[in-house]
Amino acid sequence: MFDFLNYGFNQRALLAVLMIGFSNGALGSLVVLRKNSLVISALSHSLLPGIALAMLVFGGMSPFVGLAGAMFSAMVVGLATVYVSRKGLLDHQTALTVLFTSAFAGGLLMLEHLPGNVKLADWLFGNILGLRNMDLWMSYIVSFLIVLLLAWYRRGWILYLFEPSIAASMGVPVTRLNYLQTGLMVLALVTSLQAVGAVLSSALFIIPTATMLQWVKSPRALIWSSGALGSIAGMVSICLSNWWDVQTGATLILLLGCCFMVSLVVAPKR
């Protein structure tokens, strides 16, 4: 049953999905507790214009070019949203909607001028079996950075989540944490591109936390259990995609969705 693990591409995919599933699930708990689920969805759609722009500028596509373009686009939209909302010009949701829809529209226009040999399917829907060693190292570095910062600022994150004004009065660097959370979300989204693609990447943040919210009471327990669920679901999805010959990214998100539905039925009611 596990002969597929003898192949290098499956070994890289398994390691990557374990790391990405854990870091994205853990970081997603901050997003859900702050009720910013639509933010991560909007940022995931802002990856498209960056990928399209990188293709146009460099006349083709390579993994490095695509990831760099996606990171640039999402970082610009995310940080600009935080800046506009903190200046009091618009609320966060409105600013994000204006910026990400404008960027997405620009990406759609750029798609009309892409070379005919460019294939967007792997970037939109993921292809984790195509990971190279360099992609694996990038996933490791980003995942380690996310987990390290979540642990380092754990007290500040909890205070910031529930009442930023009180957290600021207690010396918590709220502004820094706000920008840091946006930056980490962008990095995590970019590393998720080859696992589940730009279309489904936001689900890897939201569904593990939405599932574990049915079971745990502590915010700290929610962070780490959401990460654990993301990793376990990722490992199982690699096995299922090899046994059933189906797409890994879609299998992962569907599996997480099933976990959520089961939790709604059997989890203790509070």
- DSSP codes of every residue in 227-243: HHHHHHHHHHHHHHHHH
* Tens-binned pLDDT, residue by residue, of the chain (270 aa): 678 888 888 888 899 899 999 999 999 998 888 887 777 877 887 888 888 888 787 766 666 777 788 888 888 887 887 777 777 667 777 777 888 888 888 887 887 777 655 566 667 777 787 777 887 888 889 899 999 998 888 888 888 887 878 888 888 888 888 888 878 888 888 888 777 777 778 889 999 999 999 999 888 899 999 999 999 999 999 999 888 888 888 899 999 999 999 999 998 865
Residue 270 lies in a domain: no
- Please give the pLDDT value at position 61: 60
- Please give the pLDDT value at position 196: 78
Residue 268 lies in a domain: no
Measured distance CA(188)–CA(28) in Å, rounded: 10
Q: Is the dihedral of CA 187, 22, 17, 195 positive or negative?
A: negative
Residue 269 lies in a domain: no
Residue 181 lies in a domain: yes
Tally: H helices and E strands in the chain = 13, 0
Nearest Cα to Cα of residue 198 among 111, 264, 83, 81: 111
Distance from the Cα of residue 51 to its chain's centroid:
16
Nearest Cα to Cα of residue 43 among 83, 79, 85, 84: 79
Q: What is the pLDDT of residues 210-221, one digit of tens each?
A: 999 999 988 889
Q: Identify the domain containing residue 29 by its residue range.
A: 3-263
List the CATH number of the domain containing 80.
1.10.3470.10
Measured distance CA(207)–CA(28) in Å, rounded: 8
Query: What is the number of structural domains in the chain?
Result: 1
